[in-house]
Chains A and B, each alone.
Chain A
Amino acid sequence: MNDTIQLERQTQRIEGIAPGKSGVNYENFNYDNRTVYWFAAASIFWGLVGMLVGLLVALQIFIPEMNLGTEFTTFGRTRPLHTNAVIFAFVGNAIFAGVYYSMQRLLKTRMFSDLLSKLHFFLWQGIIVAAAVTLLAGITTSHEYAELEWPIDIAITVVWVIFGVNMIGTILRRRVHHMYVAIWFYLATFVTVAVLHIVNSIELPISFLKSYYVYSGVQDALVQWWYGHNAVAFFLTTPYLGLMYYFLVKAANRPVYSYRLSIVHFWSLIFLYIWAGPHHLLYTALPDWAQSLGTVFSVMLIAPSWGGMINGLLTLRGAWDRVRQDPVLKFFVVGVTCYGMATFEGPMLSLKNVNAIAHYTDWIPAHVHVGALGWNGFLTFGIFYWMFPRIFGTKLYSTRLANAHFWMGVLGIVFWAVPMYFAGFTQGLMLKEFTADGVLRYPNFLQTLLQVVPMYAIRAIGGAIYLSGFVVGAYNLYMTVKSGKLVADEADSHPALVPDAYHDGKYAWHRVLERKPVVFGLLTTVVILIGGLIELTPTFLIKSNVPTIASVKPYTPLELEGRDIYIGEGCLACHSQMVRPFRSETERYGEYSKAGEYVYDHPFLWGSKRTGPDLHRVGGKYSDSWHYNHMENPVSMSPGSIMPPYPWLLEKDLDVSMTAEKIKAMRKLGVPYAEGYENRALEDLNKQAAEIQARLQKDGIQTPANKEIIALIAYLQRLGTDVKLAQQTQN
């Protein structure tokens, strides 16, 4: 057959031109590069801010003075600021930049609406600012990576709808028949993040900036980690795989290694990911069947994850000589490799015996940062180095600087992760070590912590190196921008899409789907809902999943207020409230935690990292005055402690203006406060506060009863005592 004719037919088929028609009309249109540039610039800006906060957090964790002595700059608040900034501001804006750039070109059309693109950009930045302000002010729901309060949640929903309409509108207007695999990843991201965000944001507002989750205890934990895990999957993974399938292919200038693999890996990935959430809750009070489910699906996840990694790396086969010269490809290779490492490690961490050691330790942040710094960070840098010269019609300012950035990044990751693996492993084992006589070798938690403090210092250095590399990169990109001029509207032309042009009788199943983005979106929704529903429903429907414990009573009004201080100060950034059923934990902390103890916990406060000891059984362990002194200055009670001091709690008056509302809200959520109790709540609150005041006075501490510290002490002394007391009365 004549080669030219064959090639022509092939092009026609791909581009959706009716075969045999000659003299096709090319339509002219422009790509919107301005929005792409804005998002990219915002990503760089927030990335620098977010990582600077990260560096601060890394220092605060072992130098308490770095908390700067104010509530607004203390670890419990800066840590969520850091995580939110890097996930939603750095990575979020990078996703939008990459999606807007690649989508227009893959579909040969401009984005659906310039207005929506603009709204998307500005509202997203507004949300980021609102997030930063509220988080530092201690306004938080406490759910990790979903800390923002309900008005911001609503704003996020609005932006997400805008993004979705803009994206689906663009797909419907495309000039290319087939939806390339990258687009499926973008669509799956859109659909799933929407579902996750809504389910995990169901809160009962009690004021403009305060709400309680409608779920409690075990259910709340399951929903949160179903969300948390899938935020990793559908915010940090699927969009980036989509970006990989476009930008890596472009940079390598060769098609993806196996397109078939990309399809299988896409569907398996989104199917399996949605089930894996419970692996964050192994050995907790979560029912066993849900834990097993999480483990099994997590282990299976390794296959589709590696499918993606292998597909990415093998795309570069035969281009390895270029990898050595091109910083863009270097960033991609290491980024994809880090993805492979993190997704191998993830399933390992889901194995119960590995998890028993690793959970709550620094192993987990190490795992996360291989993914965040390596996969998300390096892919982002690679994309920007490739994209900036193109949208500015110029060349990269300096390849040498880009190479320097690359090596600083690699070094930064190594210095970040290696000491943290070491720390996690060391401390995890120390905490479990018994002497020959069968007692804990390190009964004092602080002993094990001080052992790994030097590792924290090295980690901070690693972070500083990585951030310095980023600064070099930002400079390089800035100089690139200066040397060119933004091609705000990049002209292109392409024949219009002729419906049903593909007439050789081979309407393969998937092609039909791809032509109907809405159908595709629906199927994706079904796939993820199957997982979500089967996983979540039993916990909600079957009462026996949470056996009730008769001795568990609702919090008193003062304890409830203390609990909100605990939430607002972000104590759960360092403290868990979940004693796992290991002898090493029951010896250290006391009776292991039961699901039934948390039934009134809106929200649950199990935590995910133990920089300090577990607090679930701390009630009654110390005197009130111990807590008073410890909160004012931890080292006074625990020499060498790295817990931040909270002296303002001793100064600030407890705000009781919302107490009645809180009681009412809790009752609405099923907490059995008697009808009308809200009217007597303050009376009880004052009475309990006066009792604590009197006890403190006995120990020589003079304080008014209306201080925040009093409420916090009430809460801490209550923790875990329902079960303790019940046992004492039984004996």
Chain B
Amino acid sequence: MRHFLENVTGLEIYPLISFVIFIVFFVWVTLRVATRSRREVAEMSQIPLLESNHESKA
């Protein structure tokens, strides 16, 4: 029985690990995104609207 309880407390580490991984990942992505140039971002967002010569207009 004691063995069982030990394991159960040990498990609380899992949510913690997950949380830390997420925060690190999130901060990384956000920083990367935030440091991109305004122009570059604007260009990428235009991709679906680039009309080639034949494509039917909206």
Contact = CB atoms under 8 A, between A and B. Distances in A.
Contact of A506 (B12, B40, B56): B40
B30 A493 contact: no
Contacts of B49: 249-250, 253-255
Contact of B52 (A250, A263, A493): A493
Contacts of A508: 32, 35-36, 40
B19 to A, nearest CB: 7
A108 interface: yes
A538 B14 CA distance: 9
Interface in B1-58: 3-4, 7-8, 11-12, 14-15, 17-19, 21-22, 25-26, 29-30, 32-37, 39-50, 52-56, 58
A622 interface: no
Given A289-B14, A491-B54, A296 B47 contact: no
A3 to B, nearest CB: 14
A390 interface: yes
B36 A260 contact: yes
A612 interface: no
Task: Provide the main secondary structure of the chain A interface.
Answer: helix
Interface string A96-130: 00000010011010000000000000000000000
Nearest to A289: B11
Contacts of A287: 8, 11
Contacts of B52: 108, 492-494
A187 to B, nearest CB: 16
Interface string A528-547: 00110011001000101101
A10 interface: yes
A280 interface: no
Contacts of B3: 544
Interface stretch (A45-53, A176-184, A362-370, A642-650): A176-184
A275 B18 contact: yes
Contacts, number: 124
A544 B1 CA distance: 9
Contacts of B30: 264
Interface stretch (A64-72, A265-273, A583-591): A265-273
B14 A534 contact: yes
Contacts of A490: 54-55
A271 B22 contact: yes
Contact of A106 (B15, B25, B47, B58): B47
A300 to B, nearest CB: 8
A15 B49 CA distance: 12
Nearest to A389: B56
7 pairs of A and B residues whose beta carbons are closest in the complex: A259-B45, A255-B45, A544-B4, A180-B47, A289-B11, A544-B7, A293-B15
Interface of A: 10-11, 13-15, 102, 105-106, 108, 176, 178, 180-182, 245-246, 249-251, 253-256, 259-260, 263-264, 267-268, 271-272, 275, 287-289, 292-293, 296-297, 300, 390, 393, 490-494, 506, 508-510, 527, 530-531, 534-535, 538, 542, 544-545, 547
26 contacts: A14-B47, A105-B48, A180-B44, A182-B48, A245-B48, A249-B49, A250-B49, A250-B58, A253-B49, A255-B45, A260-B33, A260-B41, A263-B29, A264-B26, A267-B29, A268-B26, A271-B22, A271-B26, A272-B22, A490-B55, A510-B32, A535-B18, A538-B11, A538-B14, A542-B11, A544-B7
